[in-house]
Amino acid sequence: MVKMRYNLFNGNGDVAKSREAAYQLNKSKDIRDRAYQMLEQSTRLSWSAMELANQQNQFLEQHVDASARTVMAYEKQFKIGQRTLLDVLNTENELFEARKSYLQAHYNGILAKYRVLNATGQLLAEMRIDLADNWTQSVK
């Protein structure tokens, strides 16, 4: 003998609860997928920014070296009367701007590296930061 209990007078509440649970499950999956896509995109952008900053550093370092040599040459030429003071000041300003650009690209590269490490979950390990034991325990 088979016994079955089914409440016919609940207005299909069981079906509605089942549909609500399925909806919530799909909603949670969509949120998870969106978060994963955003993380992946952020990681790719940070990686690209890090590579770009490293490439820029090479060129900007050469620019700083060339500007420094130019300043020294212009100062020598100024002493013998071949250059004006304005020429020397312009080259010193160019050297200042080159150094500023180099430092900005250098620190942008460091920041991008930290963003990549954060996105990949390696930031704390790279910085040698130990987590307290209660931080790694799961919430019950």
**For the packed helices 85-119 and 13-79, what is the interaxial angle rounded to 10 degrees?**
160
Question: Average pLDDT of the chain?
Answer: 88
Cα pseudo-dihedral 132, 134, 138, 140, rounded to 10: -170
Span 113-131, average pLDDT: 84
AA identity, residue 100 = K
AA identity, residue 5 = R
Ramachandran region of residue 7, left (φ > 0), alpha (ψ -120 to 50) or beta?
Answer: beta
Span 10-19, average pLDDT: 76
Sequence spans of domains, the chain: 45-134
pLDDT band at 73 (very low <50, low <70, confident <90, very high): very high
pTM here is 0.68
* Contact between 106 and 92 (Cβ < 8 Å): no
